Structures are given as C-alpha cells and as structure tokens.
Amino acid sequence: MSQPQDPPRRPVAAMLLFPGLTHLDLVGPHAVLATDMDVHLAWKDTDPVVSDSGMAILPTTTLRDCPREVDLLMVPGGFGTKDVIADPELLDWVADVGARARWVTSVCTGSLVLGAAGLLRGRRATTHWTTRHLLAAFGAENVVARTVVDGNRITGGGVTAGIDFGLTVLAGMLGEERARTVQLALEYDPQPPFDAGTPERSTPAAVAQVRAMVAAANAEIERTTAARAR
C-alpha cells in the first residue's frame, strides 16, 4: 500500500509595508498571489499602516518575526518611498531577505528601495514613469515596460502594473496555466475608457499636470536617492 503524500509546500511571500505606500501597489499583487501563497505583510510593528491615500492596512507580522527564508520578497512604492530609502533598518531588512529570496520583486517606486538596498545593480528594471531616471543612481538599467524580468528580479511599473506584475510572478512560480486561471477568476480584462495610461499616449497637458502633482514628493525621493547613492 502506498504511503499518503504530504501536500505540496505553499510558497511564502514577504511584502513590505510602510507609511505612505500606494495601497494598490500592494493590493493588486496580493489579490493575484494570496490564493496560492502564504503572504506576510511586514512592518516594524503591528499597528495599522496608513497609505498615501489614507487607507489603513494591518500588518500580519513584524520585520523581526517575518520569516527570513521566503520564496518571494515584494516592495511596493508610494510617496513614503523616500523614508524607506533613508532608513538603514528597513534597507538592511530588504537586503537580507532579498539575498535569500527566490524572487526579488517590486511595484512602482518600490524598485528604488530594491536599488537602495543594493539588489538591482547591473539589472534591468522599471518603475513609475516619473521616476525612471532615478534607477541609474543604483546601477540599474531603466526599461520602459509594464513588467521587467531580469533573472530572479521582477519589477513592475506604476500602480496598476502591479496586477500584470503579479500574474507574471505567478506564471514564473507556478506556471502559465495557473496564472491564466487566476486572471480569469479575477476577471482581469482591462478595457479603460481612455487610451491615456502612459505619457507617450496621453496629452502634453495631462503629463504636465501629473508631473506637477508628484513634483514635491518626487523631489524628496530624488534627494534621498542621491544621498543613498553617495
């Protein structure tokens, strides 16, 4: 008689939380991955973390208690990125977990955190279109794309690219068929009312407005990026 087989081990993911993150950077990939993975939402404590739009997200673990050996590390972006880049404790944690993880990933300006932690040097990567030029400060090659895969580094563009990113990650970990099934379960079939989701396809006036909206926050991110790169 054959012995009963143990169920396959579920992959483990660690997603970094921080005040001022963009919640959709986190929630999009989380929606795609959480069905098939054990996801830890890690922060310094377990108090609610408030996103840059005011939504509160509850951590599931602290940085200290989060598993160090994970299959996937994911860092979201947001206006709070500047504070992460300036925080040695957070960068040390990202560098340590990233050095062990099977996949090292980010969405939006989370790639700048990976870069500041030394995890993108010599790699192709992407980020939000308004901060792409900052990747070079950390030795990364800026690529204009929704999702960029370079070895075990996977980076997503701005905000909504996190869903595309999540499906790319899932396909790499569990196969394309599983990713297709999850896409269907989420009914992810984007049909935006306007073809204006990139600066190349938008109007000059809209591009200028967006740059003005993020100018102050991006200036802070640029300053912390330059300081860290030095």
Region of 158 please: left (phi>0), alpha (psi -120 to 50) or beta: beta
The two structure tokens encoding residue 133: 């030029």
Amino acid sitting at position 219: A
What's the chain look like in SS3? CCCCCCCCCCCEEEEECCCCCCHHHHHHHHHHHCCCCEEEEEECCCCCEECCCCCEECCCEECCCCCCCCCEEEECCCCCHHHHHCCHHHHHHHHHHHHHCCEEEEECCHHHHHHHCCCCCCCEECCCHHHHHHHHHHCCEECCCCEEEECCEEEECCCCHHHHHHHHHHHHHHCHHHHHHHHHHCCCCCCCCCCCCCCCCCCHHHHHHHHHHHHHHHHHHHHHHHHHHC
Spot the catalytic one: 32, 75, 108, 112. Answer: 108
* 108 given a catalytic annotation: yes
Within 10 Å of residue 156's Cβ, how many Cβ atoms? 34
Active site residues: 108
